[in-house]
């Protein structure tokens, strides 16, 4: 049995947990938050979301991909403390 292709999860496996540090409509806010995250010693990525009926794109700033909620919670608490932004754990 071969592993699933990169970026795909095997059938029945849990979705990964991510730490979301902010959701913004302006790129300047995205870059500011990413800079705070980098200063805190973490790398981040951005998910762009276009919602039906909304004329602009939302940018979700996220950190990591964790297999357990506990590991993600630990990082979320640290990022909230270090950046001053409310970091939350999401599963997707």
**10 Å Cβ neighbour count for 92?**
9
Task: Report CA torsion sign: 25, 31, 36, 41.
Answer: positive
pLDDT, position 83: 94
pLDDT score for 13: 57
Which positions ≥6 away from 17 have C-beta within 8 Å?
64, 65, 66, 67, 68, 69, 71, 72, 89, 90, 91
Q: Given this model, what pLDDT does residue 16 score?
A: 94
- Low-confidence stretches of the chain (pLDDT < 50) are 2-12
Q: In whole angstroms, give the CA distance from residue 37 to residue 35.
A: 5
């Amino acid at each position: 049995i071969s592993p699933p292709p990169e970026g795909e999860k095997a059938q029945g496996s849990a979705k990964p947990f991510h730490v979301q540090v902010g959701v913004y409509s302006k790129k300047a806010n995205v870059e500011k938050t990413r800079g705070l995250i980098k200063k805190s010693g973490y790398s981040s990525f951005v998910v762009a979301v276009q919602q039906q009926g909304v004329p602009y794109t939302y940018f979700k700033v996220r950190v990591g991909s964790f297999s357990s909620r506990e590991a993600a919670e630990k990082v979320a608490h640290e990022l909230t403390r270090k950046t001053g932004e409310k970091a939350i754990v999401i599963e997707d």
